[in-house]
Amino acid sequence: MLFHGKLVRTRRRILCNSDLALSTLAASLVPPQDTFFFNPQNPNHSIKRLPLISPNWKQHFVDQLKVSQTQSNPIQFSHPNCEIHEFLVRRYQFSCSYEDAKQLHLGIIKNGFGSDLFLSNTLINVYFRTGDLVSAHVLFDEMPLRNSVSWACLISGYAQNGMPSEACAVFREMIRVGLCLNTFAVGSALRACQVSGPRGLRLGVQIHGLVSKTPYAFDAVVCNVLISMYGHCIDWADLTFRAFDGIKMKNSVSWNSIISVCSQRGDAISAFELFSSMQQEGVGFGNKPSEYTFGSLVTAAASMDRGLCLLEQMLVMIKKSGFMQDLYVGSALVSGFARFGLLDMAKKIFELMSEKSAVTMNGLMVGLVRQKRGEEATEIFVEMNDLVKVNSNSFVVLLSAFPEFSVLEKGRRRGKEVHAYVVRTGLIDSKVEIGNGLVNMYAKCEAIDDACTVFGLMSNKDSVSWNSMISGLDQNECFESAVRSFRTMRTALMPSNFTLISSLNSCGSLGWINLGEQIHCEGIKLGLDLDVSVSNALLAIYAETGCISESRKVFYLMADHDQVSWNSVIGAFAGSEEYVSEAVRYFFAMMQDGLVLNRVTFINILSAVTSMSHHELGRQVHALVLKHHFMDDTAIENALLSCYGKCGDMDDCEKIFARMSERRDYVSWNSMISGYIHNELLPKAMDLVWFMLQRGQRLDCFTFATVLSACASVETLERGMEVHASAIRAHLESDVVVGSALVDMSCLCRNEPVIKIIFVGERNNMFLSIPESIRNVATNSLMELV
Determine the Cα–Cα distance for residues 440 and 433; give it in Å rounded to an integer. Answer: 10
Quick one: pLDDT band at residue 440, thresholds 50, 70, 90?
A: very high
Q: Does the predicted model carry a pTM greater than 0.85?
A: no
Select from 759, 754, 757 the least CA-distant residue to 742: 754
Residue 607, classified by CB atoms within 10 Å of its CB into exposed (0-12), middle (13-18) or buried (19+), is buried
Mean pLDDT of 48-66: 36
Residue of 325, 335, 275 lying closest to 302 (CA atoms): 335
The pLDDT assigned to 104 comes to 84
**pLDDT tens digits for 452-493?**
999 999 888 888 999 999 999 999 999 999 999 999 998 888
**Is the dihedral angle over the CA atoms 19, 23, 24, 25 positive or is it negative?**
positive
- Calculate the alpha carbon distances from 385 to 277, 390, 395, 643, 707 in Å: 42, 7, 11, 55, 60
DSSP state of 92: H
**In this predicted model, what pLDDT tens digit does every residue of 204-257 receive, in sequence order?**
888 888 888 788 778 888 888 888 888 877 667 778 888 888 787 788 888 888
pLDDT tens-digit readout, 138-152: 888 888 888 888 888
* Distance from the first to the final alpha carbon of the chain: 94
Triad 360, 364, 368: Cα angle to 5°: 165
Give me the pLDDT at residue 518, please: 92
φ and ψ at 654, to 5 degrees? -65, -35
* Chain Cα centroid distance, residue 481: 26
The neighbour count for residue 433, using CB atoms within 10 Å, is 18
With b for 16 or more beta-carbon neighbours within 10 A and e for fewer, the 29-65 pattern comes to bbeeeeeebeeeeeeeeeeeeeeebeeeebeebeebb
Task: List, for residues 177-188, the tens digit of each pLDDT value.
Answer: 888 888 888 888
Q: Which residue has the higher pLDDT, 685 or 630?
A: 630
Q: Band the pLDDT of 734: cuts 50, 70, 90.
A: low
Q: Would the pLDDT of 397 be above 50? A: yes
Confidence of residue 86 (pLDDT cuts 50, 70, 90): confident
The pLDDT tens digits for 753-784 are 555 544 444 444 444 445 555 555 555 554 55
Task: Show Cβ contacts of residue 446 under 8 Å, excluding neighbours closer than 6 positions.
Answer: 408, 412, 476
